[in-house]
Amino acid sequence: MEKSKERFSDLSLLKASENRYPTSPAEARLEAFQNIYSDRDYVITFDCPEYTSLCPVTNQPDFGHIIVRYVPDKLCVESKSLKLYLYSFRNTNTFHEESVNTILDAVVKLCKPRRAEVVGHFRPRGGIAIHVKATYGGKIDE
């Protein structure tokens, strides 16, 4: 049991009884925990259908569906911290292409996965839907 406590000692957001909603991705804190199955490849998928951000030109809200998939190495992304991180885009002016790449960069920086991808399916505005996929370390087989 003591070893388990040690594995999770860096997770501050999951332990918090209240949510501190960050106002920007720069303020948000992604957290990770030790992957006890680092000897094998497996895929983790986070499906976030309620993503929002603001258009950097019109300041109008943009709505999308973000999917984060990765093959972990030594660390795994803690899901509550990812939820709060994605929430932080709600008041952020960004293009869709930028937000997808920003999310991928944050995941890679945090846990250095073997492979990772972030896909954004954004709702139509002006009659055009935008779909963006950014990858790191090669393709993830389905």
111 in active site: no
Residue 76 is among the residues annotated as catalytic for this protein:
no
Among candidate residues 10, 41, 48, 62, the one labeled active-site is 62
* Set 10, 39, 47, 55: catalytic member: 55
Q: Helix/strand/coil (H, E, C) string of the chain?
A: CHHHHHHCCCCCCCCCCCCCCCCCCCCCCCCEEECCCCCCCCCEEEEEEEEEEECCCCCCEEEEEEEEEEECCCEEECHHHHHHHHHHHHHCECCHHHHHHHHHHHHHHHHCCCEEEEEEEEEEECCEEEEEEEEECCCCCC
Catalytic residues: 55, 62
